[in-house]
Amino acid sequence: QVQLVESGGGLVQAGGSLRLSCAASGRTFSDYAMGWFRQAPGKEREFVAAISWSGSRTYYADSVKGRFSISRDNAKNTVYLQMNNLKPEDTAVYYCARGSGGYHTGQYDYWGQGTQVTVSS
């Protein structure tokens, strides 16, 4: 059984930064790509970023390119999302997930419980 636990969310002013972490249980973390998604109230869950199993390839939604950075530490079974220059429209619950590294929720099989990010204007 794989468990993913996100942390690092909170309340920040526009222009500020946050770093999300996602700690994974199990011995197969380095075998899989990881992704971050977010879901705002009343909206569908949307892709934010993904990283390949080795960390050599990263992918971003257009809305966060140049502001967010995804990384991973396979020795610590942890994936990170560094979020800079945050905007009010980034407000959402952020989820990490294990999967193929694609852009769609159906390409991921395990999900964390989510962490709230709120950006005030």
11-65 pLDDT tens trace = 999 999 999 999 999 878 999 999 999 999 999 999 999 999 999 999 999 999 9
What are the distances in angstroms from CA 1 to CA 25, 26, 37, 110, 121? Answer: 8, 7, 21, 9, 40
User: Which pLDDT tens digit goes with each residue over 30-40?
Assistant: 999 999 999 99
**Distance in angstroms (rounded) separating the CA atoms of residues 37 and 101:** 11
Residues 6+ apart with CB under 8 A from 44: none
Give residue 26's pLDDT. 81
- Separation of alpha carbons 8 and 53, rounded Å: 22
